[in-house]
Structure 1
Amino acid sequence: MAIIITPASTRALTTPDEVARQLGIKADADNAPRLIELILAASAAIEGTLRRTLTLQQYEEHVYVAASRPAVLSHTPVRTITIDGIAGLLGREVDVGTGLLSLPAGTHVVTYWAGHDLPGSDPRPDGAPPADPMRFHLPVAITRAATLLAASYWHSSARDPWVKSETVDGVGSQSFGNIGSAVEVDALLAPHRDVPVA
């Protein structure tokens, strides 16, 4: 089991500006606190759905490597690694995308940074590896899913979530819900379920 040594500086998988653009509003001082709250809720829901942490954090794991069975780190993509106090080589001792370790049999203490560079993720955690947008940027599909989900939270917060439709005789009716958004969010996340996002 991995222990978090240095937590993420943010867990937001999208930015207030992206969600505001989706909603057609401004991410000004009036809207920003609510947007951030909704973004964090959407980001937590996505990480829960994908069953993994996407944000950049530092971890420590005590790993047992058997001669007949390789070990795998709990979090990916692996950004830097130290094995038993000695700097390791990405691609040689650990596969960046899968976390598969190539180490001699035995118990090892592995300290590593893993996770993605998030949109607007400055400041970075103290001691974090430098940003590498070519290899470690959060996939655009996940950012889009977080944007759509946060926007749907915004729309649903303005009404009673149990009311699915309203009808006014002689005027018309309206159905509520963001079925299109839910389907799109699910489709955007589907390729990232149960596989390392690298």
Structure 2
Amino acid sequence: MSLLPLVFTSGWASGINAYAVVLLMGLLGRFDGVASVPPALERTDVLVVAAVLCFCEVVADKIPYVDSAWDAVHTFIRPIAGAVIGALLAGHANDSLTSLAAGAVGGSTALASHTVKAGLRMGVNTSPEPFSNVIVSTGEELSVAGLVTLALFHPVPAAIIAGTLLVIGLLLLAFTYSRIRRFRRRRRERRAAAPTAGPR
């Protein structure tokens, strides 16, 4: 069954950039006639709002520390978006239980990928140069676009790739967490030493 892989991949992508998922799915459904796209995502008002918010996210996601603030705000938005998209994708089944299960899968997967994204970006922000943010952000955007498109036509391979990326991300997050702790410890030490650096 292609529904579960599609929901899983859309949930993973929603945890990275939910607005891009809505925009891309809506455009492919409206102009390319992809049958698996829910009609609600093809509406003009939905596409316009998604395009504006997607642009805001693309910009904010490339600015050090602004990206982490943006992620903090979207801690609740992205999982909800993943759940709603999952439920909408299952809407064709005309089964409330299936829609509920799809919403749970989409929401929980979005929460997991959002946690990975937010945690890794905090680690990237410890880098002294800003270019790493741009590189990582662009990679995330290309991954979302590529996997969402692939999932609409080939759900199973897309879900395998998304699952692999999620596992790798969780492993990297564990490594990054120790780096963030060291960065914060050094910053506290510098602040503690600052008052003693003045003239005697």
- TM-score normalised per structure 2: 0.26
Structure in which a larger fraction of residues adopt strand: 1
- TM-score normalised per structure 1: 0.26
Structure in which a larger fraction of residues adopt helix: 2
Of structures 1 and 2, the larger Rg is shown by 1
The structure showing larger relative contact order (alpha-carbon pairs under 8 Å, at least 6 residues apart) is 2
